Amino acid sequence: FREGYFVEKLYELTKIDKWFLEKFKNIIDYYKTLASTKAGSIPFDILKKAKQIGFSDKQIAAAVKSTEVAVRKLREEYKITPFVKQI
């Protein structure tokens, strides 16, 4: 996805189920959304969706070129609480 590959092409190369490839693509696309956001001003809806998708504070910080502590502080200000999904 980062190198311009599409789901269909990756499926042909890897035979990984297209459903999983679509999920990976969604994660990568959202990472790009985060990366285009300014570190000090991550909007509530973008941060909330990133957490719902499953990004950690550390991953969000890397995407926006900030620190994990700064992201955690902003998340706490927005009152977005982390939770763990178990399968």
List pLDDT tens digits, range 41-65: 899 999 999 999 999 999 999 999 9
pLDDT for 38 equals: 84
Contact 49, 38 (CB under 8 A): no
pLDDT for 86 equals: 76
How far apart CA 19 and CA 36 sit, in angstroms, is 26
- As a whole number, mean pLDDT of residues 17-31 equals 94
3-state secondary structure 43-80: CHHHHHHHHHHCCCHHHHHHHHCCCHHHHHHHHHHCCC
**Residue 67: φ, ψ to 5°:** -115, 155
Contact 71, 60 (CB under 8 A): yes
Q: What is the pTM of this model?
A: 0.84
What are the structural domains, with CATH classification, of the chain? Answer: 7-77 (1.10.1030.10)
| pLDDT level of residue 5 (50, 70, 90 thresholds) | confident
